[in-house]
Amino acid sequence: MNAELQELYRYRELLYMITYRDIKVRYKQSVMGFFWAILMPILIVVSGIVVRYAYSMVAHTPLRTGDIASVAIKSVPWAFIVSSIRFTCFSLTGNRDLVVKIYFPKEIFPMAAVLACLFDFCVAFVALVIFLAIIKIGVSIYLLWVPVLLATMVLFCVGIGLIVSAASLFFRDVKYIVEVFLTFGIFFTPVFYDISMFGDRGKWLLLNPVAPLLDGLSKCIAHHEAPDVHWYLYSLTFSLAAFLGGFFLFKHLEPAFAESI
Amino acid sequence: MSDVALRMEHIYKKFRKGEVYNSLRDLIPAVTGKMFRSQELDTGDRREFWALQDISFEVKRGEALGIIGRNGAGKSTALKILSRIMRPTKGCMVVNGRLSALIEVTAGFHPDLTGMENIFLHGTILGMTKREIQSKLDQIIAFSGIEEFIDTPVKRYSSGMYARLGFSVAAHIDPEVLVVDEVLSVGDFVFQQRCLDRIRSIIQGGTSVLFVSHNLKSVTEICQRTMMLEHGKVVAIDNSDVVIRKYLSAAPTLNTPGESKAVYITKVSVRDRNGEQSTFESGQRAWVDVEVTAREAVDKLAVVIWFTDEMQYTIFHTSTERLGFAPFSLQPGGSYRCTFELGLNMAHGTFHLVTEIYRYDIQKSYDRSDPVTSIFIGSTTAVGGAVNCFPRLVDSETVAPSTQSCQV
């Protein structure tokens, strides 16, 4: 495993080049350019606000700016998770020629897919910060949690991406299964709602490893409080396991890629 | 450091053919089905097939080894194992230093990026660092000869420009071991020559080269030694001339006589003074024996022979009728023999001899063997191209530039 990580490090420029290619191509092909990066987050944020408005109508409570901020803060990372897993799914099969013909560590493809989506996320995040400033969400010391939570999220996406990309190379129906999970995942993840709305049963939803991360982001940005450290550690453990397990599985299967794709 | 650049020891590669589960929908029923069935239906061995068996060879530093063999002989599999894209089933190999491959030189290109961006992308894919590419950028662009279009997206390139740029990047890697697979089939004649020159200069720089090609002429030009593969096994590894002779003599013989043919070719052979032969020196004399047999009565026949070059282009043809022999007729069961004497004034290369039974007045072809025999013409370094015109330099003079200045 160590040797493989060293090899990956040797090929870091390639990771950068493939990421650059993916970003460049995506922005070149679309007339709208950077607007793409914020289109999906905007759609999710707006639909989240609509859902939250419906909640407040039913519960006869006013819709507070904190709630809107919370929805926006959770939607943008969720869009990142969805798009990065979707792109990793095609990252190997979409680069068939390179997988079959040239040797280099192939985990670069799913990793570059996640990094390209991270670039989109950064663009959307800037838009989010502007939005939060407009609705006057202040700053606090808890913002220091944000990079930690985001890094864990990237680790999670890379781990899942490694597994999904290799699996979809061997089984062509994996992409449909992944798509179904990504579509319905939003209902099992606290994006439009808060964990607290479920009372004691909320902890079952936190078993979803993405949930503590999104909940944590919402807590430390919108509500100026620390995330639940225990649940964060649960997510971190899960993400690390996904990354290490995914990497190991990927490397184990890699020699068979060329003949199976 | 040892002087062995690359060594393969007893490499085996097995492929599975037939049913492969490439979707979960197929796999899950198959696995659960297997659990409930007993193992009586274990036909696994029959579905396997060995693409490579017991391949062993080594290449020294600065040496070029050719690999020839018919389609499906295992050449590409061997190269994929060498370049670590596939893992061998058994056996081990040693590569000393960086290995790079000139296989599909444009695989790393993205159509939407410009030529310049693709140089960097493709270069890093092939294992160069950014700094290395930067330092060789001018050379790469100059070699490709497309300076003007370097900032144009490569999707607007012609296929020749595409291939040229790809080769230029790949040819500037400076590896310790270079694997070349049929890249010379791209580009025009001039560019192909430039590629060959580049490969030659890479070899002179001390790089070991593995050269796979169907073009026997380039193999002999590049490689001192050649390995011949057949059905995944090494059948010969020796000096290029020896191996190529063996390769040509193992060419498939005449088809079994078709039942429908009224008259068919039963024998074609090429010989020199000493007997059957497939390698000749340019300018040597050769004799072609043709024998045909009739199943039914046929009239007014002629035997036509011609040579094609590697591009299937006819470079010479003649027939019994053109040479002044009257058309012949055959009774059922009867046969006809003729011998052509030829002066092989071709330049260095491989040529295929095709024979046909033809009736001129109704323009009907009765039988054709295509190709019957291939012959290899040995090199004289003085000539290139298809024909040897036996040149001689009879005069040469250098004229100094005139010192007169122009009056305006």
Q: Which residue has the tokens 């009257």?
A: B326
The nearest alpha carbon in chain A to B133 belongs to A13
CB–CB contact B120 A100 (8 Å): no
Nearest to B15 among A25, A173, A259 (CB): A259
Per-residue model confidence as pLDDT tens for chain B (408 residues):
568 888 989 999 888 765 667 777 777 777 777 666 655 444 445 567 888 999 999 998 888 999 988 877 888 888 888 888 888 988 988 888 888 877 777 788 888 889 999 999 999 988 888 999 999 999 999 988 888 899 999 989 888 888 888 888 888 888 888 888 876 666 667 777 788 888 888 888 888 999 988 777 788 888 889 999 988 899 989 888 888 878 877 655 555 555 567 888 888 888 988 888 888 888 889 999 999 888 888 888 999 998 888 767 788 989 998 888 888 898 888 889 999 999 998 888 888 888 889 888 888 888 887 556 788 887 666 777 778 888 888 888 888 887 665 554
| CATH class of the domain whose range is B4-21+44-248 | alpha beta
A131-135 contacts: CB < 8 A, separation 24 or more?
A131/A72, A132/A69, A132/A72, A132/A73, A132/A221, A135/A65, A135/A68, A135/A69
What percent of chain A stands above pLDDT 70?
Answer: 98
> Angle CA(A155)–CA(A159)–CA(A160) in degrees, nearest 5?
120
CATH of domain B263-378: 2.70.50.60
User: Touching check for B212 and chain A: CB below 8 Å?
Assistant: no
The end-to-end CA distance of chain B, in Å, is 67
**Is pLDDT larger for residue A231 or for residue B41?**
A231
pLDDT in tens, A190-227: 998 888 888 888 888 889 999 999 999 999 999 899 99
Largest CA distance in chain B: 103
CB–CB contact B120 A17 (8 Å): yes
How far is Cα of residue A15 from the mean position of the Cα atoms in its chain?
Answer: 19
For chain B, give every residue range classified as CATH 3.40.50.300. 4-21+44-248
Q: Testing the interface with A: which of B27, B125, B177 to mutate, by most A Cβ within 10 A?
A: B125
For chain B, give every residue range classified as CATH 2.70.50.60. 263-378
Q: What is the pLDDT of residue B61?
A: 87
Q: Testing the interface with A: which of B14, B24, B113 to mutate, by most A Cβ within 10 A?
A: B24
> Residue A35 — pLDDT band, cuts 50, 70, 90?
confident
> Residue A29 — pLDDT band, cuts 50, 70, 90?
low
> A172 to chain B, minimum CA–CA distance in Å?
5
Q: Tell me the torsion sign for CA atoms A89, A94, A100, A106.
A: negative
**Is pLDDT larger for residue A2 or for residue A81?**
A81
Q: What is the pLDDT of residue A16?
A: 94
C-alpha–C-alpha distance, residues B228 and B234, integer Å: 6
The nearest alpha carbon in chain B to A260 belongs to B22
CB–CB contact A100 B27 (8 Å): no
C-alpha–C-alpha distance, residues B275 and B282, integer Å: 17
Q: What is the pLDDT of residue A169?
A: 92
Question: What number of helices (H) and strands (E) belong to chain B?
Answer: 9, 19
The secondary structure of B181-234 as a DSSP string is ESGGGSS-HHHHHHHHHHHHHHHHTT-EEEEE-S-HHHHHHH-SEEEEEETTEE
Q: CA-CA distances (angstroms) from residue B360 to A37, A83, B296, B327? A: 73, 70, 18, 9
Nearest to B23 among A24, A97, A173 (CB): A173
> B152 to chain A, minimum CA–CA distance in Å?
13
CB–CB contact A103 B117 (8 Å): no
What is the bridge-based pairing of β-strands B349-359 and B298-308?
Answer: antiparallel
Q: Which ipTM did the prediction report?
A: 0.86
Q: Which residue has the tokens 């001899």?
A: B353
Q: What is the pLDDT of residue B42?
A: 47
Q: What is the pLDDT of residue B187?
A: 62
**Is pLDDT larger for residue B261 or for residue A247?**
A247
Q: Tell me the torsion sign for CA atoms B45, B46, B47, B52.
A: positive
> A208 to chain B, minimum CA–CA distance in Å?
24
Question: What number of helices (H) and strands (E) belong to chain A?
Answer: 12, 0
Q: What is the pLDDT of residue B373?
A: 78
pLDDT in tens, A103-162: 889 999 999 999 999 999 998 999 999 999 998 888 889 999 999 999 999 999 999 999
**Is pLDDT larger for residue B17 or for residue A173?**
A173
Interface of A with B (CB under 8 A): 13-14, 17-18, 20-21, 24-25, 28-29, 97-98, 100-104, 170-174, 177, 255-256, 258-260
Mean predicted lDDT score pLDDT of chain A: 90
Contact status, residue A222 vs residue A213, Cβ threshold 8 Å:
no
CB–CB contact B120 A21 (8 Å): no
